[in-house]
Amino acid sequence: MISFESDYINGVHPEILKRIIETNSEVEPGYGFDSHTKNAVAMIRNACGCQDAEIFLATGGTQTNQLVISAVLKSYEGVVAAETGHVGVHEAGAIEYSGHKVLTLPQHEGKIDARELKSYLETFHADGNREHMVYPGMVYISHPTEYGSLYSESELKAISRVCRKYRIPLYLDGARFVYGITSSRTDLTLAGIAKLTDIFYIGGTKAGTLCGEAIVFTKKNMPEHFLTIAKQHGALLAKGRLLGVQFEALFTSDLYLKIGLHANLMKDKLLKILKSFNMKFFYESPTNQQFVIFENSFLKELEKEVCVSFWEKYDDTHTVVRFATSWSTTDEDLARLEEILGKLAQREG
């Protein structure tokens, strides 16, 4: 059985594990005051080209989104997101649990459009009833999106410009950040994103750590007493070193870039294989997630030997599934996939 189910099916990247082992017997203070967290923060600042970035390490993506959004928004504000945004769909209402509405915009391959955002904000502020409505207080985008798509630099600039005009922060959910900046089809860099957003996070969990997401406040805009707010959310690890050591490793010798490049290379090979069998794409993304439409009976056979992720029903006889590559995808996995597809194609033919 081989698996392309997701990018969090394996343990931890060997380089990171090595660092966990090496530092294990050190005595370190808790709650993120350890030397490794401090070091990781400095390394991330460097990589962002943003020396005064304020950084906090949390354990997971939903926790991060709830923490950031609720800490930044005022009580009467909501967060604007694409209708397919993770915060609005697959976080079990974590944002609403913290008291805030997710205000939705149409999605285009998972992305919002700067003009639609502008138009929404204009309409809102012109509405005589706006005092009875939820104020848009932040814009949330994911990059890569839930569909693996990427904003171009000009798209991100346009969104950033609208946010600044309306003085609302732009927050970028980077659960799969490393797979975005290392795509061959992006013109956005880590530093570029840091400049255009107000807050973003660099996901660790889906990029080779056991857990951990690095939240970056790029404009000296970390809310006051953020550590206390994190504690109140149950988001403060006693052994903060677990997060510190992993991000330290991720930013040592550009490991995060190597991980991203590897997954994207594997993705290119995956695409080539899928296309060689004339597979139909639901969405062919520039990053590590690919969405393929299978005839149901074919899929049933495929799933006996390959683990993929159900995405959605396409029609009565077809299904969309997701293939994900990651730091842990091997050439052997791909060769085996090619072999299995070949066998199934032959049987069909």
Could you tell me the maximum CA-CA distance found in the chain, to the nearest angstrom? 65
Q: What's the min distance (Å) between Cβ of 291 and its own copies?
A: 15
Alpha-carbon distance values, 125 to 45, 130, 132, 133 (Å): 36, 7, 12, 10
Task: Specify whether the CB–CB gap between 197 and 151 falls below 8 A.
Answer: no
Q: What are phi and psi of 317, to 5 degrees?
A: -120, 5
The residue within the footprint of its own copies, chosen from 49, 106, 234, 342 (CB under 8 A), is 234
Q: Name which of residues 10 to 29 contact its own copies (CB under 8 A).
A: 10-12, 14, 17, 20-21, 23-29
Q: Name which of residues 272 to 311 contact its own copies (CB under 8 A).
A: 307, 310
Site membership for its own copies, residue 76 (CB under 8 A): yes
Q: Name which of residues 106 to 135 contact its own copies (CB under 8 A).
A: 128-129, 131-135
Helix and strand numbers, DSSP H then E, in the chain: 14, 13
- Number of residues located near its own copies, criterion CB under 8 A: 79
Q: What's the min distance (Å) between Cβ of 82 and its own copies?
A: 15
What is the SS3 assignment for 197-245?
Answer: CCEEEEECHHHCCCCCEEEEECCCCCCCCHHHHHHHCCCCCCCCHHHHH
Q: What's the min distance (Å) between Cβ of 155 and its own copies?
A: 26
Site stretch for its own copies (CB under 8 A), options 91-99, 187-195, 270-278, 280-288: 91-99
Beta-sheet pairing, 280-283 with 289-295: antiparallel
The residue within the footprint of its own copies, chosen from 48, 102, 156, 194 (CB under 8 A), is 102
HSE at residue 304, side-chain half, CA atoms within 13 A, is 9
Q: Which is nearer to its own copies, 251 or 327 (CB)?
A: 327
Site membership for its own copies, residue 90 (CB under 8 A): yes
